[in-house]
Structure formats: structure tokens, C-alpha cells
Amino acid sequence: MIYEVAPWEINTYNKLKRHKEQREYSEDHKQTIEKSMVENGSITDVHPILVNKNGYVVDGWHRYKACVALNIPYHVLVVPTNWKGMIVLNTNKRNWNGWDFAGYWAKKGKKSYKYFLDYSSRYPFVSSGVLVAIFNKDTCRKQKDSKAFKEGKLLPFNLDHVERTLQKLASLMLRGNNPTLDPSTHRKQQFQQAMLQALADPDFNFTKFKKGLTTTKHKLNILAKQVDILREIKKIERKG
């Protein structure tokens, strides 16, 4: 049986130990959780630390260490010493992706995230990371922008730029004859970010590139690295 430890009992768990089956401790991961707790509050009331009756943490070691470092209360659930749920718990839970964060903030009434989801439904080929970059008038999603996006700080100031950029990317779908740009290539993040780099270059002529894509033999469908894709894009543009 699993039961919740009452708040007044939590003080008896001030010297918990890491269970040998817990994943290895990462100071960076602990600091990330710590920073999130400072900014957003602890979540152990709804996502408690799992502890067996001998004081060994079987799930939530990094959350526990973050709470100790911040000197804040934490909630625990006591599980049997023979608890077998660790593998099930960690193989079936999924971290939130960009669309999950967008949906959360849209439901909270943030207009920029409603726009974000609208664009994603109209242009379903674009990844959430690339769309974040486009919203920020950048060529790739940077760590600071990713963090701001997850925290509900996406700004709706560049919507004209977003629309123009997505229209250009959409116009390339199934473009070309030698060979046709493959849909899997068109959806690839490396291709989309390479296109954002090209479009950010004031000397890049998108009309010439589209013409060159139709008349020039290209390797876009077989290239994997973004730098190589960008080089190929520039070559196609020069021949357009």
C-alpha cells in the first residue's frame, strides 16, 4: 500500500538516501530543477518524492536534493521496500514537447500561443522549435528563447514576418523536378533552419532559388548536415 506522509512527519525524512537503482546524480539537472522551483514553486505536493520505509528515495532524488538546497518543504509518498514501479514509471512518462507548452499557455489565455497553434495547424510541416525561431526572427531556436517559450513569454510582435516566412517555406513543398523536394526533406528541421539562414541573408534571392530548384539538379534530399544543406541552397540560388 502507498500512503502519503502527513506534513508534520516530513521532518523525519531530512536525511534521505539515494536508492541504488536510482539514476546517477547530476548537479546540472539538480540546478535546473532548483531554478524552476525558485521561479515557479515546488511541485512535490502533486508530484511527491517516492521513499521506502527505510528512507531510500526510489523516485525523485533530484527533486529532493533541490528542495534541501533551497531549504523548502517537500512531500513524500512511502512505498513498499519491494516496490517494482520504477521502470514502469520512467518508461511510460513523457516530457512535455513544444506543442504541449503551447497548448498549456493558450488555455491560460496567452494570445501569442493561440497564434502559435493557429500557424502550426495551417503550416503543419513546421516543427515547434523552428516556429519558435521564426517568432523570434531568428534562424534557430536558442536556449534563452526556448526557456522563455516554456515560461509563457512568447511575444506576438513579429506576426507579419511569421506569415511571410511560413508562406515561403510552404511554397517549396514538392517543388523541383530534378528531383522533387521530398516531403521528408521539407519537414526536416535541418532543412528548415538552413532556409531560415538563407532568408536572413540580405543578398539571398528567394525567387531565383525557387527557379533554380525547378531547373537545377540538387542533393537536398540526401544531405543531412545543416551546413551542407545551406551550401546547396546557395548553389541552387546562383543557378536560378
Reading across the β-sheet that carries 56-59, which strands appear in turn?
A: 3-4, 76-79, 49-52, 56-59, 17-18
Query: What region does 205 belong to: left with phi over 0, alpha with psi -120 to 50, or beta?
Result: beta
How far apart are alpha carbons 79 and 8 in whole angstroms? 18
Predicted confidence band of residue 8 (pLDDT cuts 50, 70, 90): very low
| All domains in the chain, ordered by first residue | 3-92 (3.90.1530), 98-238 (no CATH)
Average pLDDT, rounded, for the chain: 87
Burial class of residue 77, CB neighbours in 10 A (0-12, 13-18, 19+): middle
pTM summary value: 0.71
Note the pLDDT of residue 1. Answer: 33
pLDDT tier for residue 92 given thresholds of 50, 70 and 90: low
pLDDT in tens, 22-48: 778 889 889 988 988 888 888 887 788
Contact 193, 226 (CB under 8 A): yes
In 48-116, DSSP assigns E strands to: 49-52, 56-59, 76-79
Asked whether residue 134 carries a pLDDT value surpassing 90, the answer given is yes
